[in-house]
């Protein structure tokens, strides 16, 4: 049966959820072959197998951490040569898209980014994308070469389907460009203890209406009561109230959770671009005319300083 390469996003062998979604989607097209770069393949392999990887190709080398993007492209290209897959799937992270792009040029293929769904088609996989700030849904396919497709987090519910997951060493020869961009230093982001913004089932975001860094604890408390990730509008980020890594929108993260809670956010087009595909949307805003109310399943016109703490208390007491 045809094989599909799936690039594994992991932290020292702990496989991140979007990869499990990719394995699930890959099975609609063929048999997933996972590509695991860096340390931890033995830790990752059982999980990758559980979600359908027939094989796990792995390579470890200092270049993967010490230099940016290109060493991983060299490895993925080697995997492409070894497997001759019918498609290559990569998680739609900033780095994932760059790896996919350079690979596509090398193998002479078209590239589709930020797919939110994938289906088998007569002429190869068909990718669904959400465009123009999610005002349109398109279906596209790659018409030249091996389809290279990056898939957004939360595009499918991961489904287990045990496969062999045989670990095989991938032999990689690094090209001249592999050492072109040096990582001089790396400072890992401090863990918040909350779910990853792009992977979370629930996101609670605060905007300019939160009116100061010192008030963001209201948003955090609500998020914690719901087990949610915390997001912020660009206005809140630009004001220095919350870190940029938490920004939702066109130039921040694009999220697609089961539930999105917007507090003190007007709903500008650039913000909507990053959250409009959320399943259920609720908002608290004191301005009844705020455009965010056009999107909501449930909205409260009111002062977030009254409504949000009351909601948090109510959630806590209902959860017991």
- Provide, rounded to whole angstroms, the least separation between the CB of residue 102 and other proteins: 4
Our finding on whether 266 is near ligand FAD (CB under 6 A) is yes
* Secondary structure (3-state) at 256: coil
Contacts of other proteins in 51-70 (CB under 8 A): 68-70
Closest to ligand FAD by CB, 89 or 284: 284
Which helix or strand (DSSP H or E) is residue 305 part of? helix 304-319
Stretch of 42-50, 157-165, 179-187, 206-214 contacting other proteins, by CB under 8 A: 179-187
- 17 burial level (CB within 10 Å; 0-12, 13-18, 19+): middle
The pair of three-digit structure tokens given for residue 3, joined into one six-digit string: 């094989």
Can you tell me the distance from the alpha carbon of 108 to that of 61, in angstroms, rounded to the nearest whole number? Answer: 26
Q: Which residues of 152-181 are buried (b: 16+ CB within 10 A; e: fewer)?
A: bbbbbebeeeebebebeebebebeeebeee
131 contact, one of ligand FAD, other proteins, none, CB 5-8 Å limit per kind: other proteins
Residue of 178, 228, 290, 311 that binds ligand FAD (CB under 6 A):
290
Kindly state the tokens that stand for 54.
């027939």
Work out what residue 137 binds among ligand FAD, other proteins, none; the CB cut-off runs from 5 to 8 Å by kind: other proteins
Binding mask 271-310 for other proteins (x = CB under 8 A): --x--x---xxx-x---x----xxxxxxxxxxx--xxxxx
Q: Does 264 bind ligand FAD (CB under 6 A)?
A: yes
Going by C-beta distance under 8 Å and a sequence separation of 6 or more, which residues neighbour residue 86? 2, 3, 4, 29, 30, 124, 125, 146, 147
In the region spanning residues 229 to 258, those forming contacts with ligand FAD, defined by CB under 6 A, are: 233-236, 247-252
- Which range of residues in 44-52, 58-66, 174-182, 202-210 is near ligand FAD by CB under 6 A? 202-210
Cα separation of the two ends of the chain: 51
Nearer to other proteins, 33 or 151 (CB): 151
Tokens coding 181: 């961009």
Choice from 85, 96, 209, 299 touching ligand FAD (CB under 6 A) = 209
Tell me how far, at minimum, the Cβ of 308 lies from ligand FAD, in Å. 8
Give CA–CA dist 64/75, Å, rounded. 9
Q: Which two tokens stand for residue 143?
A: 């018409």
Structure tokens at 300: 């409260």
For other proteins, the binding residue among 2, 14, 131, 164 (CB under 8 A) is 131
Stretch that binds other proteins, among 36-44, 49-57, 209-217, 269-277 (CB under 8 A): 269-277
Residues near ligand FAD (CB under 6 A) are 207-209, 233-236, 247-252, 264-266, 268, 270-271, 274, 284-287, 290, 303-305
């Amino acid at each position: 049966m045809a094989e599909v390469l799936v690039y594994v996003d992991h932290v020292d062998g702990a496989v991140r959820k979007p990869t499990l979604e990719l394995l699930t989607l890959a099975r609609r097209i063929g048999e997933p072959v996972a590509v695991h770069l860096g340390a931890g393949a033995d830790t990752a392999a059982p999980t990758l197998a559980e979600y359908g990887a027939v094989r796990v190709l792995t390579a470890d080398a200092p270049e993967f951490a010490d230099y940016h993007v290109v060493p991983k492209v060299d490895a993925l290209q080697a995997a492409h040569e070894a497997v001759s897959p019918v498609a290559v799937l990569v998680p739609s992270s900033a780095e994932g898209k760059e790896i996919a792009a350079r690979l596509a040029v090398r193998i002479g293929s078209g590239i589709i980014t930020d797919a939110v769904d994938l289906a088998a088609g007569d002429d190869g996989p068909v990718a669904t994308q959400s465009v123009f700030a999610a005002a349109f849904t398109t279906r596209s396919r790659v018409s030249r070469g091996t389809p290279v497709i990056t898939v957004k987090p939360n595009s499918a519910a991961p489904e287990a389907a045990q496969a062999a997951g045989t670990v095989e060493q991938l032999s990689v020869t690094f090209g001249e460009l592999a050492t072109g961009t040096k990582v001089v230093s790396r400072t890992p982001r401090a863990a918040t203890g909350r779910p990853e913004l792009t992977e979370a089932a629930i996101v609670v975001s605060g905007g300019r209406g939160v009116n100061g860094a010192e008030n963001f604890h209201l948003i955090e408390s609500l998020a914690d009561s719901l087990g949610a990730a915390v997001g912020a509008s660009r206005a809140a980020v630009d004001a220095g109230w919350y870190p940029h890594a938490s920004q939702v929108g066109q130039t921040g993260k694009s999220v697609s959770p089961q539930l999105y809670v917007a507090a003190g956010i007007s709903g500008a087009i650039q913000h909507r671009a990053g959250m409009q595909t959320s399943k259920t949307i609720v908002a608290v805003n004191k301005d009844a005319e705020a455009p965010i109310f056009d999107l909501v399943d449930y909205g409260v016109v009111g002062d977030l300083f009254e409504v949000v703490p009351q909601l948090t208390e109510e959630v806590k007491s209902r959860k017991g």
